[in-house]
Structure 1
């Protein structure tokens, strides 16, 4: 995603969704965002109402649709460039175990969310080795 600013992040997601709903041409990022949104019909009503989407605040311990979609996108980006190195092969191993890309992304997402939360809490950079270790533990 182009920004860590919450409003900018929401704007990118909402604009991609609007373009798709209106049949406009999507760039590569928009298409990826829309594909992730399609996997989450529970968010469609929220995304159809940009005013509500911008006004909603989400508690740190509760569900946040924009964070959830952003984590999906982060994982897809990591897989596309194999960064951190080895994530792509771990993803393939998980896919062999679970057979469903969306389920695998959700499992990796738990590791990524924990990694980011710990780094933020400790004021440190995320530790890729801890992230990959978490993902390795998911492989049956």
Structure 2
């Protein structure tokens, strides 16, 4: 399994943005990443910044880590494309019908973040049943 370092993740997004700015050819995964970068114009100046690779983002200061956010978009897109955990594609489609695909991704992202946090806190693997349960609650909430 691919487990990139913080610097590798950041370099990937910075390089993808730079290639886009230079109109260079993108690898398929970079094209997917670019799609999400373009959906988040609030990150464009950061991705053009020389300091971006070293910048810290503090939850306590209300800051979102754009690299984590974009990475979660990629992870969720992959989950949906292979329907893993089983049922997530259908859940995404239902959420997207109630709002739009980008908002549906953010709804899924909140659930994924909660499941990741719980997994780290308990030192256990990701709980797909909890993930799907949280997602189902999002559908029922609408």
Q: TM-score range with shorter-chain normalisation?
A: over 0.9
Runs of 4+ aligned residues of structure 1 deviating over 4 Å after TM superposition are none
Give TM-score scaled by structure 1 length: 0.93
Supply the distance in 2 between the matched residues of 1:74 and 1:32 (Cα, whole angstroms).
Answer: 11
Aligned to 1:3: 3
| C-alpha distance in 2 between matches for 1:15 and 1:94 | 32
For structure 2, the residue ranges without an aligned partner over 5 or more in a row are none
CA distance in 1, matches of 2:2, 2:77: 14
Aligned residue in 2 for 1:26: 26
1:55 aligns with 2:43: no
- How large is the RMSD of aligned CA atoms in angstroms? 1.4
Matched, 1:75 2:76: yes
Give the Cα–Cα distance (whole angstroms) in 2 for the partners of residues 19 and 64 of structure 1: 21
Q: Distance in 2 between matches of 1:16 and 1:3?
A: 19
**Cα distance, 1:56 vs. partner?**
0.5
Which structure is richer in relative contact order (CA contacts within 8 A, separation 6 or more)? Answer: 1
TM-score (normalised: structure 2): 0.92
Structure 1 alignment gaps of length 5 or more: none
Residue 2 of structure 1 deviates from its aligned partner by: 4.6
CA deviations over 1:92-140 (Å, ceiling 9, x no partner): 1111222x11100001100001110110111111100100111111113
